[in-house]
Amino acid sequence: MKVLVTGGGGYIGSVLIQMLLERGYKVECLDRFFFGRETLSHVAGDPNLEIIKDDIRWFNPNILRGVDAVMDLAALSNDPAGELDPSKTMEINYKGRVRVATLAKKYGAERYILASSCSVYGFQDEVVNERSPTNPLTTYAKANVLAEQETLPLADKNFCVTALRQATVYGLSPRMRFDLAINGMVLGFYKHGKIPIMRDGTQWRPFVHIRDTSRAFIMVLEADKDLVNGEIFNVGSNEQNYQIKPLAELIADAIGLPFNFEWYGSPDKRSYRVDFSKIRDTLGFKPKYTPKEGAKEVYDALVEGKVKDDIKTRTVEWYKFLLNAQKIVREVELNGIIL
């Protein structure tokens, strides 16, 4: 089976592709590689991997010929990054992914799996499940809702469509990110001896390890179509719903250091607890990793020098850098400046 993974050079994609290759799949990776091709250096020599540098908004659809399934992860990732240029976020995260799904169906793919997010729930007082009303508070979340609404109706007996609303992801990746809650807490402890906590610490958030969410994609890929076609699944576990400040205390315990923290930012308007019973009961999905284990692996990797904190590990800062560089190039071109 040949699987196309869009955004395959990203935080989740670079882990997911390795897991697909280990299971014997042929994989096409479509990515702009804003963070560099080195995110796939660990699998670059695999004969079953084809790497395509392109954009979901305008790639040649001929690359879909012979593709059996599409895992659509390409997006401007996370809520803060989505606000840098809301129109661009909608163009890529919503319209670009609808284009991928529509073309996948046209060119004969049998399955399409959309990488969505539990951020679509926004703020909720009650524990939410897949049937609960969404309440997207950011451009990123709104784009996910719209992408779901336009890709799921494409499902029919010949084209299986599934949306996976992922909890906040944590853990090691070749495209490491320290702008995610647990990973950022660990980095703060490593660099400053303090865990940064977004005010006011009482907000609820669900979490899932990067290898567990990657495994969920593969489980959906391999599941009987009748179980997953036209369905939405929250990806995570009921046990990994945490309030942010108690989570920080747990991270400190996992690392083995005294709990010390510092507040940052304005009070977080996003707070939601999620029910993950559906994916557990339907597919037998149960996470293999906990935040304690994920925090420890990230901390140990920092200590051992296996991962480093640089601008590319903080998505918003890197996107801002790229946007500023792009502005400078345009200025040079418009004014004929010689550097």
pLDDT at 140: 95
337 falls within a domain: no
Count of domains observed in the chain: 1
In a domain, 81, yes or no: yes
* Residue 332 within a domain: no
CATH of the domain at 14: 3.40.50.720
pLDDT one-digit tens code per residue, 58-108:
999 999 999 999 999 999 987 788 888 899 999 999 999 999 999 999 999
Per the domain annotation, does 327 fall within a domain?
A: no
**Domain of 153, in residue numbers:** 2-316
Report pLDDT digits (tens) over 5-15. 999 999 999 99
At position 223, the amino acid (one-letter code) is A
Q: pLDDT tens track of the chain, all 339 residues?
A: 999 999 999 999 999 999 999 999 999 999 999 999 999 999 999 999 999 999 999 999 999 999 999 999 999 987 788 888 899 999 999 999 999 999 999 999 999 999 999 999 999 999 999 999 999 999 999 999 999 999 999 999 999 999 999 999 999 999 999 999 999 999 999 999 998 898 889 999 999 999 999 999 999 999 999 999 999 999 999 999 999 999 999 999 999 989 999 888 888 888 999 999 999 999 999 999 999 999 999 999 999 999 999 999 998 898 888 878 765 555 445 554 443
The pLDDT, as a whole number, for residue 327 is: 58
Tokens encoding 299: 């901390």
Q: Are 127 and 274 in contact (CB under 8 A)?
A: yes
In terms of Cβ atoms closer than 10 Å to its own Cβ (0-12, 13-18, 19+), residue 67 is: buried
